Structure 1
Amino acid sequence: MEYTLYLGSYTKRESKGVHKITLDTTNDKLVDYQLIAEVDSPTYLTFSSDKKTMYTISKEENGAGLTSFNLLDNGEYKKRASTTTEDAAPCYISFDEVRKLLFTASYHGGYVSVYKENEDGTLEQTDRVIHKGSSVHENQKSPHVHYTDYAPNSQILLVCDLGTDEVFSYEVSDEGKLTEISRYTAKAGSGPRHLAFHPNGKTVYLVCELSSEIEILEYHQEDATFTYVDRISTIPETHTSFNSGAAIRVSNDGNFVYYSNRGHNSIAVFEASETTEALTLVDYVPTEGETPRDFNFSPDENYLIVGHQDSDHLTLFKRNQAVGKLTLLEKDVYAPECVCVKF
């Protein structure tokens, strides 16, 4: 079996844009690294369900925003449209395929933007909400929006603001307008970066980048609110130097949660309790690289692939689905400046 893995990256050094690489499960290897779209700073990606259209964060000479691409017969992607309404490149992008809406998070600007893809393929901004506030950490002098994605089976947009320690819930109209309906405040100085839902649709695991913790929350779908349940550290007590949380994934069976640590340079593996409201540490797994900003499961969840922003390579692990443990297979697969890992 072969799976195609798509890699978003910075383009400050060697990367020229979006790449793909093949996971060969017969030989337990990553092979055939290829450039598929030349674009500046595609640090996050999303796709249409058939993979015929790709949407990326991007920068151009006259500004930043997002770019759409059409899939060609040779497997590469050709630019279709772009928008440059943002001063600095966003850090996250998601796609409502039914209503043709795209959502971006601006870390530097502290706002969430909504774009509409028109029938002719052009991209039009429909709304922007600028956050206000700050918090207690030195990196929290202003809002820093870092995540914009839907709650499961809904059109409620959840937005993590690392700068204000808040998670916002927005209702999204068909015209792409946002209305705030609730707001959750995390621990002061924790820095909410991303979140992931348990398959039950109620338990939420919140990445706290600045405190190196996971906040466990209960999500109430009826009013899009959150209730605090618990929190757990993602690094050992013996690690006293710099660390910041990055990505989080939950296995499809809901039994295991994985979290990447930048600084400790590890994947923290946790087992979820039967109630899903408690996590127990299984292992800290070295990623064999510097700054593991993103990682992902293979579609069959038998493998886990880590991208490293600063050591320019991928690490491939075999995953034991029964106990959650990771076994190193490869640690030197060239992939410069990788910060987004998508299947």
Structure 2
Amino acid sequence: MTQTIYFGTYTRRDSKGIYKADFDPSKGELANLTLVAQEPSPTYLAFDQAGHLYTVGAEDGAGGIAAYDQKAQLLNHVVQEGAPLCYVAVDEERSLVYGANYHKGQVLVYRRLADGRLELADSDTHEGQGPHANQASAHVHYADLTPDQYLITCDLGTDQVTTYDVAEDGKITPLDTYKCAAGAGARHIVFHPHYKIAYLICELNSTIEVLIYDGVGHFEHLQTISTLPADFDGANGTAAIRLSADGKFLYGSNRGHDSIAVYSILADGSLELADIVPTNGQNPRDFNITPDQNYIIAVHQDSDNATVFKRDAETGKLTEISHDFYVPEAVCLTFK
């Protein structure tokens, strides 16, 4: 049965907005790229269970978030002066949507109305900086839920992971903060499906920090592991991080080395590098595992192509099938 994949993009060159394509899991083939909605640089996408689409959005020179209905018709924008968001996530239980604003160092909470439109409920602005040249100010890069329904943010500018309590009306209260290595640049985090373990991918020093999570907002460091080969000395920044559904393998993408690092997850939740696979494109900003867990698809911001890998469920390793499917300026992909 064909699956539909949605792509978020930048619209700096050829892209017009949000795209979709068909994926045939029996053949591992992508086809039928279609423009779904015109939106300025919709760089991250999230669907709710009803099929509403929430995306990074802009309107009249102001930046924020956009809401679309099940037919990809615009419902509304919620924008403020300045740059738009960089990450969007849905909280079904509380009927909220979360956003991260990299340039403003903000986490934002939106109420989801009955028809799918959004209105701002609360926000928090981070302060601080780090030792790296890209850390002159706070840069919130991720805002999403922990398995126990706390809100968590990753701040690339301050090297901090902050946990918030969320009230039913969307008001947020900081609970705890984890500090990663100085200059590491916390980007995204994922949680193991069985262990009290989280994996934090750090953009600026190309590492993954393995964290023990106590279930009530507090983290402790267990391990740091590189995403790069030992002999690589070029410029690199990490991007996406994904876990296999069975909790046995972890994947992280490199931009510069242009690859996906593959890790086996050991009995204590720590990582062991299994492979580093070239993506055959420039700047693999995002990738995702297909719902059947049999493939990984990576998209490239600078070379406008998607690469399809067959995934071995026993070893976690990837074998490229193709890298020539055109998607303009793609930086996010998700399944509906």
**Bin for the TM-score computed over the shorter chain:** over 0.9
1:315 aligns with 2:295: no
Number of equivalent positions: 335
What is the alpha-carbon distance in structure 2 between the residues aligned to residue 207 and residue 181 of structure 1?
Answer: 21
- Could you tell me which of 191, 200, 203 is aligned with 1:209? 203
Q: Percent identity?
A: 45
Please provide the CA RMSD for this pair: 1.1
Q: What residue identity is the alignment partner of 2:310? A: K
- Could you tell me which of 179, 186, 195 is aligned with 1:185? 179
Matches within 5 A, 1:106-185: 106-152=101-147, 154-185=148-179
What is the alpha-carbon distance in structure 2 between the residues aligned to residue 205 and residue 102 of structure 1?
Answer: 23
Instruction: Compute the displacement of 1:45 (Å).
Output: 0.5
Aligned partner of residue 71 in structure 1, secondary structure: coil
What is the alpha-carbon distance in structure 2 between the residues aligned to residue 197 and residue 191 of structure 1?
Answer: 18
1:97 aligns with 2:96: no
Length-normalised TM-score, structure 1: 0.95
Q: What residue identity is the alignment partner of 1:261? A: N
What is the alpha-carbon distance in structure 2 between the residues aligned to residue 309 and residue 286 of structure 1?
Answer: 15
Match of residue 227 from structure 1: 220
- Could you tell me which of 247, 265, 268 is aligned with 1:272? 265
Q: What residue identity is the alignment partner of 1:198? A: H
8 Å contact kept, 2:52–2:116? no
What is the alpha-carbon distance in structure 2 between the residues aligned to residue 121 and residue 256 of structure 1?
Answer: 35
Aligned partner of residue 292 in structure 1, secondary structure: coil
Match of residue 283 from structure 2: 291
Q: What residue identity is the alignment partner of 2:206? A: S
Instruction: Compute the displacement of 1:201 (Å).
Output: 4.8
1:198 aligns with 2:192: yes
For structure 1, list consecutive stretches of 5 or more residues without a partner in the other structure.
Answer: none
What is the alpha-carbon distance in structure 1 between the residues aligned to residue 160 and residue 240 of structure 2?
Answer: 18
Runs of 4+ in structure 1 displaced over 6 angstroms? none
1:30 aligns with 2:30: yes
Match of residue 212 from structure 2: 218
What is the alpha-carbon distance in structure 1 between the residues aligned to residue 95 and residue 293 of structure 2?
Answer: 29
What is the alpha-carbon distance in structure 2 between the residues aligned to residue 283 and residue 156 of structure 1?
Answer: 33
Instruction: Compute the displacement of 1:26 (Å).
Output: 2.4
- Could you tell me which of 301, 318, 329 is aligned with 1:326? 318
Q: What residue identity is the alignment partner of 2:57? A: S
| Deviates further, 313-322 or 23-32 | 23-32
8 Å contact kept, 1:294–1:341? yes
Aligned partner of residue 176 in structure 1, secondary structure: coil
Matches within 5 A, 1:50-61: 50=50, 52-61=51-60
Match of residue 248 from structure 2: 255
Instruction: Compute the displacement of 1:38 (Å).
Output: 1.2
What is the alpha-carbon distance in structure 1 between the residues aligned to residue 310 and residue 75 of structure 2?
Answer: 37
Q: What residue identity is the alignment partner of 2:133? A: E
What is the alpha-carbon distance in structure 2 between the residues aligned to residue 86 and residue 124 of structure 1?
Answer: 16
Q: What residue identity is the alignment partner of 1:65? A: G
1:100-121 deviation per Cα after TM superposition (whole angstroms, max 9, x unaligned): 2111111100111111122354
Instruction: Compute the displacement of 1:15 (Å).
Output: 0.9
1:284-333 deviation per Cα after TM superposition (whole angstroms, max 9, x unaligned): 10000000000001100100000100000100011011011111111110
What is the alpha-carbon distance in structure 1 between the residues aligned to residue 295 and residue 77 of structure 2?
Answer: 34
What is the alpha-carbon distance in structure 2 between the residues aligned to residue 115 and residue 86 of structure 1?
Answer: 17
Instruction: Compute the displacement of 1:125 (Å).
Output: 1.1
What is the alpha-carbon distance in structure 2 between the residues aligned to residue 201 and residue 8 of structure 1?
Answer: 31
Aligned partner of residue 285 in structure 2, secondary structure: strand
8 Å contact kept, 1:66–1:83? yes
Q: What residue identity is the alignment partner of 2:277? A: V
What is the alpha-carbon distance in structure 2 between the residues aligned to residue 200 and residue 292 of structure 1?
Answer: 28
1:250-292 deviation per Cα after TM superposition (whole angstroms, max 9, x unaligned): 111111110000000000001011221x211111100000000
Q: What residue identity is the alignment partner of 1:242? A: A
Length-normalised TM-score, structure 2: 0.97
Match of residue 11 from structure 1: 11
